[in-house]
Amino acid sequence: NTNIGQGLVSVTPIQMAVSVSSIFNGGKIMKPYIVDNIQDQYGNVLKKFQPEEVRKVEIEDKNFQIIRDSMEKAVRDSDGTLRKLSSIKYKVWGKTGTATAPVEIQGKQYDAPHAWVTGVFEYKGKKYTFVINIAHGGWGEGALDVIKGFLEKI
């Protein structure tokens, strides 16, 4: 059951973003970066960050295409788990998830699952990966309103 994200799978949001983006770029595992560049107070670029391929997952593109098609159906199909995103004017692919991880924090027990939604959207000819994780936020669909609100504003 671990190959569908169940069981003892443990990932951070950035690891999930790297994984999902590899599905859309032919298996390339890219080094993540948070900022595009660093500037001084005058706007001079001191350092520019560039995409950097770390390695490549050797999987036939037809298999990546099956995953991409499934992620698109999750948005476009009337019974898809991401159907709330079907009204977005950009093309969106995605997957919801629910992670159960009961934990005790400062003597209080938290049993609600973590809500996940991850995917890709296309904007001005480029694809962007997103990951929303709401700790103890309920089922995966609970994170949909966050990404929907963001996508509606761009």
pLDDT in tens, the chain (154 residues): 566 666 677 889 999 999 999 999 999 999 998 889 999 999 999 999 999 999 999 999 999 999 999 999 999 999 999 999 999 999 999 999 888 777 888 998 888 888 899 999 999 999 999 999 988 888 777 788 889 999 999 8
pLDDT of residue 24: 96
CA distance 112 to 143: 14
In sequence order, which residues have a C-beta less than 8 Å from that of residue 112 and are 6 or more positions away?
136, 137, 138
DSSP symbol at 31: P
Please return the burial class of 132, using the count of CB atoms within 10 Å of its CB with bins 0-12, 13-18 and 19+: buried
Most distant CA pair in the chain, distance: 53
The answer to whether the beta carbons of residues 86 and 53 sit under 8 Å apart is: no
Rounded to whole angstroms, the Cα distance separating 142 from 139 reads: 6
Structural contact between residues 142 and 133, judged by C-beta atoms closer than 8 angstroms: no
